[in-house]
Amino acid sequence: MGATRKTRGLLIVISAPSGGGKTTICEHLLRKDPRLVRSVSATTREPRGQEREGRDYFFLKPAVFDRRAKQGAFLEWAQVHGHCYGTPWREVRRRQAQGRDVVLTIDVQGGLSVRRQDPRAVLIFVKPPSLGVLQARLQGRGTDSRETIRRRLKNARWEMSQARAYDYSVVNDTLAQAVAQIETIIAAERLRTPTEKKQRPAGNRRT
């Protein structure tokens, strides 16, 4: 066999309404698959619970976030639930160039923005079994105030209506099953024929 060709890794977007389970699912995926790496976003919101700088988010002051956004540091950025969130561009492309598949756990606005910039991105929407279950999971997580939960549930309705624009939709009922379904999607995407191979060879054309 010849030298292995290093192909660019996948860009995988996982979106869900807040409390839908994308963080939990992503942790399971990363634990099982060393080819995956999660992109760490920047945000202007305060850290909550056990969150750590650089592991969960880069926590930035609004003025710093604004400056970086203007400098074009983000692949996409959006205001979500009253705070700014953005995906640092350079780190994503560096990891992809190394052949790693990069997972973004971002909101729907961000997912659609990534799609516009990179048509090859794989968009997966994670749905809770119902809004009632979503509310119970947000309350059970114990990290958000009642007002925050109320605002997140209100946004959830709109976010769920955007699932149609995604390539795949997975219901997060049983965690193990949702993880397995996303693993199947990733496995299939890795087997996709590269676009250039699908073009008809020039020699077949009649002149």
Residues in contact with ligand 5GP by the rule CB under 6 A: 18, 41, 45, 76, 78, 80-81, 85-87, 105-107, 109-110
Binders in 20-39 for ligand ADP, by CB under 6 A: 20-24
Residue nearer to ligand 5GP on the CB measure, 23 or 100: 23
Decide whether 85 or 125 has the Cβ nearer to ligand 5GP.
85
C-alpha to C-alpha distances, 115 to 129, 139, 165, 198, nearest whole angstrom: 26, 32, 10, 21
Angle at 80 between CA 70 and CA 73, to 5 degrees: 25
Q: Per CB under 6 A, does 41 bind ligand ADP?
A: no
Q: For residue 43, state whether it binds ligand ADP (rule: CB under 6 A).
A: no
Does 170 help bind ligand ADP (rule: CB under 6 A)?
A: no
**142: its two tokens:** 């114990």
Report the DSSP pairing between strands 36-38 and 101-105: parallel
CB of 174 to ligand 5GP, least distance (A): 22
CB atoms inside a 10 Å sphere around CB 86: 22
Instruction: Using the minimum distance from each CB to ligand ADP, give the nearer residue, 10 or 16.
Output: 16
- What secondary structure does DSSP assign to 30-96, as a single string? HHH-TTEEEPPEEESSPP-TT--BTTTEEE--HHHHHHHHHTT-EEEEEEETTEEEEEEHHHHHHHH
Residue 89 is encoded by which pair of tokens? 């561009």
Q: Which does 80 bind (CB under 5 to 8 A by kind): ligand ADP, ligand 5GP, none?
A: ligand 5GP
96 binds, among ligand ADP, ligand 5GP, none (CB under 5 to 8 A by kind): none
Residue 106 contacts which entry, ligand ADP, ligand 5GP, none (Cβ below 5-8 A, type-dependent): ligand 5GP
Distance of CA 48 to the CA centre of its chain: 20
Contact stretch for ligand ADP (CB under 6 A) within 12-20, 30-38, 84-92, 116-124: 12-20
Are 118 and 102 spatial neighbours (Cβ–Cβ below 8 Å)? no
- Which of 23/99 has CB closer to ligand ADP? 23
The DSSP letter of residue 160 is H
Binding mask 124-153 for ligand ADP (x = CB under 6 A): -------------x--xx------------
